Structure 1
Amino acid sequence: MGLGRRGAVGAPSASRWHLLARRELDGTKLKFGLSNAKPSASLRRLAEMRGALHFVEQSFREAKSACGMAEYQVRRWQAWHHHMALVMIATMFLAKERIAHRDTAELLSCRDLVEIMRHRLPTKIVTDEDLAASIIDRHRRRRQAMESAYRMQSAMLSASD
């Protein structure tokens, strides 16, 4: 089936899409998916890619929850790339640890590993006073960042007048 699609300059404006349908063995659910793979793609390859989708989505969920994939505040494209690279490295580390310990801890999750590391790794915050000092310092830096942003905004507004 040919569905219209906007393409890049000079690219064809329409392409072929594969409609994939899968029925549960008991016949209760029917699931559909679209693929823009090449028309020559085999049905087996399309089924393999569709079957891998669950694992890809699961790895993104784990990267978001355990490695902070969705917790970025960047102003430039390069900073976003740096953040995503660090998330990928952290996710790879957690995946390797899960594989290394699968014989003794079959259900070990990324979240479990993060908890273990938080517990086992040393921290600067030992006492209540350390915690209070850390929060005060974080508030000081946050205030400085806000004031800097306000100054930049004010300068931009006055320059546009």
Structure 2
Amino acid sequence: MLARRSISKPDEIAYYLACAPLDATAADLVRVAGCRWKIEECFQAAKNECGLDQYEVRRYVGWYRHITLAMLAHAFLAVMTVQEREKGVSRPTHPTSWTSHPPKSVVCWQLNPAAIPHAATTR
């Protein structure tokens, strides 16, 4: 068990129950517990930008397809963002066909329209 005390609220303690090998160190447990926030941010970004939470299906197969496509879109946006950073794009921009609502959180993908492959923008 791992316990964490908040600096701003010292009376509140968060507990983490971990199933780890016997040779795991406290630093390993802290590192893994800290990864939770990265995962939470990833899912929040997928909800805001890819509609991960906007499914209206009645069966498992429909839900599974929706979740798979939303996560695939999220992965695509992540790859495009990394490619832009490698090219040295200094300021992110919204796509020209931006029609969705503004993001609900600070964590969002902002792509340069020039980085989108031409085949993806034409029909």
Deviation for aligned residue 1:49: 1.1
- Structure 1 segments, 4+ long, off by >3 Å, are 27-31, 105-111
Identical pairs, percent: 28
Deviation by residue 1:137-158 (Cα, 9 ceiling, x = unmatched) = xxxxxxxxxxxxxxxxxxxxxx
Residue number in structure 2 paired with 1:158: none
TM-score (norm 2): 0.64
SS in structure 2 of the partner of residue 112 of structure 1: coil
Residue number in structure 2 paired with 1:105: 89
* Bigger helix share: 1
Unaligned runs of 5+ in 1: 1-17, 124-161
Moved more, 97-106 or 75-84: 97-106
Residues 2-41 of structure 1 mapped to structure 2, 5 A cutoff = 18-22=1-5, 27-30=7-10, 32-38=14-20, 40=22, 41=24
Larger Rg: 1
> Equivalent of 1:72, from 46, 55, 78?
55
* Bigger strand share: 1
Aligned length in residues: 100
Residue 90 (1) aligns with residue 73 (2): yes
Moved more, 30-39 or 66-75: 30-39
Deviation for aligned residue 1:110: 4.1
| Residue pair 2:50, 2:73 contacting (<8 A) in 1 also | yes
SS in structure 1 of the partner of residue 14 of structure 2: strand
TM-score (norm 1): 0.51
